[in-house]
């Protein structure tokens, strides 16, 4: 199978190598780039005021990396975080935090925002929460936690942008009727929207029926449907290994 991996260049390795081990031909064209926010002032201010918070929520490895780059810049250390309860989405984000010597208190059963809210339902009333995330993200967590009585501060830790350098490569790939990928992988809603922006509706309309769309989970699948694409493959475990298993199962 020819599989197109659209993760950010610095994060494509695990998905690509896992697919190659199963015999796939992998094509890497990033649909997403991670950029610094225009200003670090809100994030820095929140980090300097960590003593005022009781919970820290991080929803991605990118968020962890962005926060800790500022932690080092501000010369903070583990002791500044010790009083905090920490919640994450998924094992990869949990491991990224634990690699910094901190414990994670809540990892929901399902790795989506709604499950984070469910896991915190009885723990969060009256608590002050810091949520560090991408500039553009779903508002499920802050909205629902506020309904439960939490005081939630949302700060931008990074932003995701469309990598313009991928446009020519992707359109050339989709123009080759004989060299089309069998599967395109999507690991977030941003990768779906950026794929469409990069490919252009004309290219998608011509070839989309020949390509299977593989989604990491229900939120990404919903975005595919909203954009007029069918999630032919959806991971049962909303992780990179889960996505690899789902693609492998469909290839048998």
pLDDT digits (tens, 9 = 90+) for 85-94: 999 987 888 9
Rg (CA), the chain: 19
Q: What is the helix, strand, coil percentage profile of the chain, to 5?
A: 45, 20, 35
pLDDT of res. 56: 96
Contact of 124 with 152, CB cutoff 8 Å: no
Contact of 94 with 119, CB cutoff 8 Å: no
77-81 contacts: CB < 8 A, separation 24 or more?
Answer: 78/102, 80/50, 80/51, 81/50, 81/56
pLDDT surpasses 70 at 111:
no
pLDDT digits (tens, 9 = 90+) for 131-190: 998 887 778 888 999 999 999 999 999 988 889 889 999 988 888 767 789 999 999 888
Contact of 133 with 153, CB cutoff 8 Å: no
pTM as predicted: 0.77
- The CATH number assigned to the domain with range 37-158 reads 3.40.50.10090
CA distances 83 to 53, 104, 122, 197, Å, are 9, 12, 19, 43
CA distances 91 to 37, 159, 246, Å, are 25, 22, 18
CA distances 69 to 34, 90, 99, 160, 234, Å, are 14, 21, 14, 17, 33
């Amino acid at each position: 199978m020819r599989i197109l991996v659209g993760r950010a260049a610095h994060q494509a390795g695990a998905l690509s190598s896992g697919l190659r081990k199963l015999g796939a031909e992998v094509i890497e064209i990033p649909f997403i780039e991670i950029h610094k926010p225009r200003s670090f002032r809100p994030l820095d201010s929140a980090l300097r005021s960590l003593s005022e918070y009781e919970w820290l929520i991080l929803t991605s490895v990118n968020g962890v990396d962005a926060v800790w780059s500022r932690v080092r810049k501000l010369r903070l250390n583990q002791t500044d975080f010790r009083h905090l309860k920490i919640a994450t989405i998924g094992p990869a984000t949990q491991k990224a935090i634990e690699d910094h010597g901190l414990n994670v208190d809540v990892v929901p059963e399902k790795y989506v925002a709604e499950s984070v809210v469910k896991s915190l339902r009885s723990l969060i009333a009256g608590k002050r929460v810091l949520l560090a995330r991408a500039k553009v993200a779903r508002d499920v967590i802050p909205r629902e936690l506020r309904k439960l009585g939490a005081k939630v501060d949302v700060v931008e830790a990074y932003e995701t942008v469309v990598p313009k350098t991928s446009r020519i490569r992707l359109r050339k790939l989709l123009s080759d009727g004989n060299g089309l990928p069998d599967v395109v992988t999507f690991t977030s809603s941003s990768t779906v929207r950026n794929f469409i922006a990069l490919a252009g509706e004309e290219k998608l309309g011509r070839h989309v029926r020949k390509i299977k769309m593989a989604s990491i989970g229900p939120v990404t699948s919903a975005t595919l449907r909203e954009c007029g694409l069918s999630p032919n493959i959806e991971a049962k475990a909303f992780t990179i290994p889960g996505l690899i298993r789902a693609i492998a199962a469909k290839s048998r």
